């Protein structure tokens, strides 16, 4: 029997509506920013964004490559103490490309249950077996490692995008070394935020040489767009040959590369701004009452989440916060598990003390 695709689309959308989980796009507003990933305000600095523009004209393997790409990759790799780096058009592209080509039938990818959607999608496109382990739980990871076969890869994030907490990286590396598994670390929310010059968690802990590959994205604290995968020279060549999201897409433009370069130059002098960001995070936490602290997911990153179970409840709080001119977003099921719906506050270096106080006051009033 033939079926009409329009009916299917309408049915799926109305189901989302019934569950209060229909996503919709919002146009940028002039509310106080407590939701963007522009943690250091780099995206708003005009010199980063008003630079010469030359289109890429093709993929990196055809006409889109340039010495600017290669020099920038070497520069960023050196800064992050890696042998080599390959720039992708986004963090999503980097993860989907890397994970879909790194493991084959007979291999195993083990990932934290809260891993980002881009990694999950990459794993789904590979022919490897995959298991998740309990979030940040090293003994759960060990059980999965015992069942793993073939080449074994373990995917984790430095700072988890929906909870804001940090991976127990050293312990995970030690365990993986015991089982001869390779760690792949997504540093998206640690880039520009964690450690000296915001160079990430691996470098802060001095474990960069014990990690198979790291992903740094440029669309968050770097205020630009794109991502780099760091690893060995051989791995870079492997990605150029097998990562389909690298091969079959137009390269980034010169303008985009300039913004990435500027952001890295800025980062080297940004310790004061990074310190201000961490000061603001501590200020936010110190202002919370016991009631809200009990609902706060423990995190020392700019991502601060307060649990408000139920899509309807959390949406209501979001609307009321927006009415108070605070741009704070609700995270709904199915993005997070049912009963783990939350208000997700992103703290920035540029949020004023007054704004943070207003934000906390409103949260205290609106969250029961």
Phi, psi of 202, rounded to the nearest 5 degrees: -60, -45
CB of 266 to ligand PLP, least distance (A): 18
166 touching ligand PLP, by CB under 6 A: no
Kindly state the helix (H) or strand (E) to which residue 135 belongs, with its residue range: none
Residue count at the site for ligand PLP (CB under 6 A)?
14
Question: Is 186 one of the binding residues for ligand PLP (CB under 6 A)?
Answer: yes
Under a CB-based contact definition with an 8 Å cutoff, are residues 284 and 345 in contact?
A: yes
d(CA 28, CA 94): 27
Q: Which is nearer to ligand PLP, 190 or 366 (CB)?
A: 190
**Phi, psi (rounded to 5 degrees) for 88:** -115, 165
Query: Which letter does DSSP use for residue 250 in this model?
Result: P
Residue 91, interface with ligand PLP (CB under 6 A)?
yes
Distance in angstroms (rounded) separating the CA atoms of residues 107 and 123: 11
Is residue 217 near ligand PLP by the rule CB under 6 A? Answer: yes
Determine which residue in the list 33, 48, 90, 155 makes contact with ligand PLP, applying CB under 6 A: 90
For residues 202 and 156, what is the distance between their CA atoms, to the nearest angstrom?
12
If binding is defined by CB under 6 A, does position 161 make contact with ligand PLP?
yes
Q: How far is the CB of 344 from ligand PLP (least distance, A)?
A: 12
Planar angle of CA 81, 126, 225, nearest 5 degrees: 45
Window contacting ligand PLP (CB under 6 A); options: 87-95, 233-241, 255-263, 325-333: 87-95
Q: Site mask, ligand PLP, residues 47-86, x = CB under 6 A?
A: ----------------------------------------
Phi and psi torsions of 37, nearest 5° = -90, 10
Phi and psi torsions of 223, nearest 5°: 65, 20
**Contact flag: residue 188 with ligand PLP (CB under 6 A):** yes
Rounded to whole angstroms, how far apart are CA atoms 311 and 288?
A: 23
Is 223 a binding residue for ligand PLP by CB under 6 A? The answer is no
Choice from 60, 116, 216, 236 touching ligand PLP (CB under 6 A): 116
The footprint of ligand PLP (CB under 6 A) covers: 90-92, 95, 116, 118, 157, 161, 186, 188-189, 217, 219, 227
């Amino acid at each position: 029997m033939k079926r009409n695709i329009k009916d299917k689309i309408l049915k799926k959308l109305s189901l989302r509506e019934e569950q209060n989980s229909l996503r919709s796009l919002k146009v940028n507003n002039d509310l106080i920013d407590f939701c963007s990933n522009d943690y250091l305000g780099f995206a708003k600095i005009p010199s980063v964004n008003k630079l010469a523009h030359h289109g890429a004209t093709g993929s990196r393997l055809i006409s889109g490559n340039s010495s600017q790409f290669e020099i920038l990759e070497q520069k960023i790799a050196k800064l992050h103490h890696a042998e080599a780096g390959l720039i992708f058009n986004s963090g999503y592209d980097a993860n989907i490309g890397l994970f879909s080509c790194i493991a084959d039938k007979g291999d195993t990818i083990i990932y934290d249950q809260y891993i980002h959607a881009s990694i999950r999608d990459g794993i789904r496109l590979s022919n490897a077996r995959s298991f998740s382990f309990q979030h940040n739980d090293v003994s759960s990871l060990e059980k999965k490692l015992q069942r793993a076969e073939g080449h074994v890869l373990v995917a984790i994030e430095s700072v988890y995008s929906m909870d804001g907490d940090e991976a127990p990286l050293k312990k995970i590396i030690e365990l993986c070394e015991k089982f001869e598994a390779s760690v792949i670390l997504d540093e998206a929310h640690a880039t520009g935020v964690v450690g000296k010059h915001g160079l990430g968690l691996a470098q802060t802990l001095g474990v960069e040489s014990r990690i198979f590959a790291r992903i740094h994205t440029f669309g968050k604290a770097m205020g630009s767009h794109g991502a780099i995968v760091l690893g060995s020279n051989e791995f870079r060549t492997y990605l150029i040959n097998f990562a389909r999201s690298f091969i079959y897409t137009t390269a980034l433009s010169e303008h985009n590369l300039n913004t990435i370069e500027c952001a890295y130059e800025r980062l080297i002098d940004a310790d004061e701004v990074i310190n201000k960001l961490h000061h603001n995070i501590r200020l936010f936490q110190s202002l919370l009452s016991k009631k809200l602290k009990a609902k706060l997911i423990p995190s020392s990153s700019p991502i601060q989440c307060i649990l408000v179970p139920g899509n309807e409840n959390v949406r209501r709080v979001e609307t009321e916060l927006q009415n108070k001119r605070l741009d704070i977003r609700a995270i709904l099921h199915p993005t997070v598990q049912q009963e783990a719906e939350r208000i997700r506050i992103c703290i920035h270096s540029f949020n004023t003390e007054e704004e943070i106080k207003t934000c906390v006051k409103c949260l205290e009033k609106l969250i029961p």
